[in-house]
């Protein structure tokens, strides 16, 4: 299975370019790259690693991998952001299929073969599947459970699975190069959620984004509570900005965590006010404690009954992990929605995406 796309974008035979942005990922990047080189795919491949200004030894590690295997190329990403790294890596490769890879992900051996077959069968511009979070510690296992649960991230198909078919977005993505380049690649102004925005541009151009549960990518969660909190704060920040820039009915589910945050904070403030006021305070102030109480009860019940929650220690971690995800994402969403993330509202006015 070798060759190129024809002039009309049809698939005759395939070469694949893997593109991976990395920044301070010395713990996971080698396993991610090894999973690319071990694919049961018989076409030509190359791997472009766009490395940001790392301080943990990542740069030395990826350079050593490139010295051992000529298919690996390391490119400097001075900006350090994910979309900038992806664009740099895409521009440095030439094969007609582009596979986006995350340094925290491990591709199963059949991933590329199934993705190419799916593109061949559907003609989609982008295909993707499920982010199969798996932890190596009790904390990471609790985070992985939250990722794969409706009480954690809301139950989108690329987290919990679903029927094959057209989708708004997919995890990572395997792209046909021609429509990817024609769409302008990744918008470098958007630091998180850039995949959703790119997929929207592809769909607006008449292309198909295709979800298939046959594609599962092992994902390694953040290893500490602090890193998890930062991840979801910034993810929520950019999701809020994108929701403001691109309002839609389907975005209503994104309002649940921020609504919960506002309700819980309001309940605590009003409850404290009622406690200070004393017995003469209006009943609504005393009943305000019910709001944070209900949320706390929800977290406890969810941690106890969520499927695949593991043993006692993993479920104990869920009591901390779930509110960390909800609260940080919700606060970030609120800040992003009022444009404290970084203005990209000009996107609504038809500005072209930033190209490398």
pLDDT of residue 344: 44
Residues 81, 86, 87: CA angle, nearest 5 degrees: 105
Cα 19 from chain centroid (whole Å)? 15
Kindly report, residue by residue over 205-227, the tens digit of the pLDDT: 999 999 999 998 888 888 899 99
286 part of a folded domain: yes
> Which residues does 312 contact at the CB level (< 8 Å), separation at least 6?
none
pLDDT of residue 355: 42
Mean pLDDT, consecutive 10-residue segments, the chain of 356 residues? 43 81 90 94 93 92 94 94 95 96 90 95 94 87 86 66 86 95 92 87 95 88 91 86 72 77 91 87 88 92 83 90 92 82 44 43
287 part of a folded domain: yes
Cα 348 from chain centroid (whole Å)? 22
pLDDT of residue 307: 76
150 part of a folded domain: no
93 part of a folded domain: no
The kind and range of the H/E element at 312 are helix 312-337
Distance from C-alpha of 234 to C-alpha of 237, rounded to nearest angstrom: 5
262 part of a folded domain: yes
Contact between 24 and 56 (Cβ < 8 Å): yes
Distance from C-alpha of 18 to C-alpha of 292, rounded to nearest angstrom: 46
Distance from C-alpha of 279 to C-alpha of 135, rounded to nearest angstrom: 49
Q: Which two tokens stand for residue 1?
A: 């299975």
339 part of a folded domain: yes
Distance from C-alpha of 138 to C-alpha of 312, rounded to nearest angstrom: 10
Distance from C-alpha of 149 to C-alpha of 169, rounded to nearest angstrom: 18
Residues 253, 195, 20: CA angle, nearest 5 degrees: 140
Distance from C-alpha of 16 to C-alpha of 94, rounded to nearest angstrom: 8
Contact between 215 and 112 (Cβ < 8 Å): no
Kindly report, residue by residue over 98-120, the tens digit of the pLDDT: 999 998 888 999 999 999 999 99
Backbone angles phi, psi at 129, to 5 degrees: -140, -130
Contact between 139 and 322 (Cβ < 8 Å): no
Distance from C-alpha of 228 to C-alpha of 215, rounded to nearest angstrom: 25
282 part of a folded domain: yes
189 part of a folded domain: no
Number of Cβ within 10 Å of residue 186's Cβ equals 27
Work out how many domains the chain is built from and give that number.
Answer: 1
Backbone angles phi, psi at 104, to 5 degrees: -95, 5
Task: Identify the domain containing residue 319 by its residue range.
Answer: 249-348
| Matching residue, tokens 């890879």 | 101
> Which residues does 111 contact at the CB level (< 8 Å), separation at least 6?
39, 215, 216, 217
């Amino acid at each position: 299975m070798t060759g190129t796309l024809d002039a009309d974008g049809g698939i005759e035979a395939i070469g694949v370019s893997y593109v991976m942005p990395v920044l301070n990922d010395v713990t996971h990047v080698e396993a991610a790259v090894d999973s690319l080189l071990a694919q049961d795919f018989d076409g030509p491949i190359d791997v472009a690693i766009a490395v940001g200004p790392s301080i943990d030894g990542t740069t030395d590690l990826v350079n050593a991998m490139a010295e051992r295997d000529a298919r690996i190329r390391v490119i400097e990403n001075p900006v350090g952001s994910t979309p900038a790294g992806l664009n740099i890596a895409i521009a440095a490769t030439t094969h007609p299929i582009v596979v986006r890879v995350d340094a925290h992900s491990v591709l199963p051996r059949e991933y590329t073969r199934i993705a190419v077959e799916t593109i061949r069968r559907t003609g989609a511009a982008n295909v993707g599947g499920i982010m199969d979070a798996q932890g190596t510690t009790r904390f990471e296992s609790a985070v992985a459970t939250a990722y794969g649960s409706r009480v954690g991230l809301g139950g989108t198909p690329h987290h919990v699975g679903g029927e094959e078919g057209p989708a708004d977005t997919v995890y990572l993505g395997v792209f046909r190069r021609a429509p990817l380049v024609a769409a302008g690649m990744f918008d470098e102004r958007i630091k998180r959620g850039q995949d959703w925005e790119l997929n929207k541009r592809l769909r607006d151009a008449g292309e198909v984004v295709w979800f298939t549960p046959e594609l599962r990518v092992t994902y390694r969660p953040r290893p500490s509570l602090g890193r998890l909190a930062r991840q979801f704060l910034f993810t929520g920040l950019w999701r809020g900005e994108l929701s403001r820039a691109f309002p839609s009915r389907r975005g209503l589910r994104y309002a649940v965590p921020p609504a919960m945050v506002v309700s819980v904070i309001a309940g605590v403030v009003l409850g404290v006010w009622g406690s200070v006021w004393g017995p003469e305070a209006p009943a609504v102030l005393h009943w305000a404690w019910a709001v944070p109480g209900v949320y706390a009860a929800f977290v406890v019940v969810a941690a106890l009954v969520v499927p695949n929650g593991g043993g006692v220690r993993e479920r104990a971690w869920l009591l901390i992990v779930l509110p960390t995800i909800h609260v940080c994402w919700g606060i970030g969403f609120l800040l992003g929605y009022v444009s404290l993330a970084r203005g990209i509202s000009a996107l609504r006015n038809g500005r072209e995406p930033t190209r490398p």
